[in-house]
Amino acid sequence: MLKQVSFIFFLIFFNCYMGSEFKLGLKHLTNEVEVNVPASRVWELYRHLGISILAAQQLKNVIQSVQVLKGDGGVGTILKLTFVPGNSSYTEKFIVINDAKKVKVAKGLEGGCLAIGCSVQIVRLEIIEKTRDSCIIRSDIGYAVKEEFEANDPKPNIQLLAAAAQIAKRFLESSGAAMSA
């Protein structure tokens, strides 16, 4: 029994880490934003806590606070976002940070779509190099709905990740222009 549970956990982790097309029955919402900055610069912002802090600074009408409950931005870090007016929140744990593939994966622990009927919420952020000086920020939320909530069709909201990608684009493209001037 323990071997079976360990094997299932390994498959789930491997699937998230590798980003394969086999998604264990998860539904997905995806957003892509092209950025005219090298992928390595975008990854610097996304790799640890930078994008969360920048988004919180720029989206004060949406995000009341960002708290690091555990860790320093690496694997195992637990982050809590509290939303305006402060009565809802989302907590996630960073489970994968792959510098070679420029992929960061976080597992939702509470809040978000977990609070409205989802059993799993996995956020995958990937920086895809297009050219030497441009890349794509791909944000993906994989989720599964509890059987008893399927009729309600609960979905996570990808708009916050989409807004964060737009903020990153503006910030990095404007700071890149300032650096080259």
Report how far apart, in Å, the C-alpha atoms of 47 and of each of 8, 103, 158, 177, 178 are: 27, 8, 19, 22, 23
Q: Which of 3, 60, 104, 130 is catalytic?
A: 104
Instruction: Return the structure tokens found at 150.
Output: 């399927």
- Residue 15, phi-psi category: left (phi > 0), alpha (psi -120 to 50), beta (remainder): alpha
Round to whole Å and give the CA distance between 167 and 150: 33
Q: Are 142 and 27 in contact (CB under 8 A)?
A: yes
Question: Helices marked H in 19-115 — which ranges?
Answer: 39-47, 50-58
Concerning whether 104 is annotated as a catalytic residue, the answer is yes
Which ranges in the chain belong to alpha helices (H)? 2-18, 39-47, 50-58, 159-180
Q: 95 with 13: CB under 8 angstroms?
A: yes
Helical (H) or strand (E) element with 33:
strand 27-35
Which residues are known catalytic residues?
104
